[in-house]
Amino acid sequence: MTSAAAADYGWIRSSSSPFRYALEVGYTLTLVRGVSPAELLSLAGVEPRGVCDGLDNLIEQHQELIHGSDDWAESILAGACTVRGEGGEWTLALVFGGDLGSPHFMEALSAGTCAVSHSSNGGKPMHFFHWHENGELRTSFEWPSVRTGSTPDELSAVMREVGLNPTGDQAPDVDSKAAVFALAERLTGVQVTQELLTTAGYLTGEVPEEPAEDWDSITIDMTDAHGERTYVHLRRDQF
């Protein structure tokens, strides 16, 4: 296991950081051992569309995809490349403005291996971390002190070492996102650097947005300040 800590990933916030775009628009970064970029995209239901060199070109392709949509993009861009980590080759997959598909994707991806992901939805304060082993969610959290999974406390000591507080409020002088990067490195042995992101060759593909489920009616349940509950049932033809 490496000795990475939050301070090692302070570069993600710098004005020249290639990762600032991802923090602004939202991202999901996934690391999986022993699965190739092509296999990862295939599991996500993505048809590879070619290779682009470097993060700048990946960002440009993402912007073209967004600007080419009249209203809301029906797909998001994924880029995947091979990196070195603990035990051999890993795949790093980076998605802007979304994730790689269904909630069961990480379970399938981690079957027989290890997969770690962390994400942000951009400007809103929602940041997630997931660690899967052999198809099982071991530890997951939005707030480090509120964890779920089959072994929610297994990473507690490592979380403290990288700068996260597993039992209370986060220290204000520690960048929790940088600490999450360090936690992912501790689990995978993959050191994500500016050079790695800017020089990698990414196999790209478009991840289709899942269609919204069809519906005929909804029920709105409202409770006022006095504890009185009101139910309103609306049919689709009333909208």
- pLDDT tens-digit readout, 190-224: 999 999 999 999 999 988 765 444 445 444 444 44
Residues 4, 116: Cα–Cα separation, whole Å: 16
pTM assigned to the model: 0.84
pLDDT digits (tens, 9 = 90+) for 68-110: 665 445 678 899 999 999 999 999 999 998 887 666 889 999 9
Predicted local distance difference test score (pLDDT) of residue 73: 52
Predicted local distance difference test score (pLDDT) of residue 5: 97
Reference 209, options 77, 41, 110; nearest CA is: 77
Q: What is the mean pLDDT of residues 226-231?
A: 49
> Residue 54's pLDDT band (boundaries 50, 70, 90)?
very high
Residue 233 belongs to some domain of the structure: no
Residue 47 belongs to some domain of the structure: yes
- Collapsing DSSP to helix, strand or coil, 175 comes out as coil
Residue 234 belongs to some domain of the structure: no
- Collapsing DSSP to helix, strand or coil, 122 comes out as coil
Domain extent, residue 48, equals 6-213
Residue 228 belongs to some domain of the structure: no
- CB atoms under 10 Å from CB of 183, counted, come to 28
Residue 91 belongs to some domain of the structure: yes
pLDDT value at 128 more than 60: yes
Residues 136, 154: Cα–Cα separation, whole Å: 14
Residue 60 belongs to some domain of the structure: yes
Which helix (H) or strand (E) segment holds residue 41: the answer is helix 37-43
Predicted local distance difference test score (pLDDT) of residue 97: 84
- Judge contact between 21 and 122, C-beta under 8 A: no
Residues 39, 34: Cα–Cα separation, whole Å: 10
Residue 221 belongs to some domain of the structure: no
> How many domains does the chain fold into?
1
Residue 232 belongs to some domain of the structure: no
Predicted local distance difference test score (pLDDT) of residue 103: 65
- Judge contact between 2 and 189, C-beta under 8 A: yes
pLDDT digits (tens, 9 = 90+) for 170-196: 888 999 999 999 999 999 999 999 999
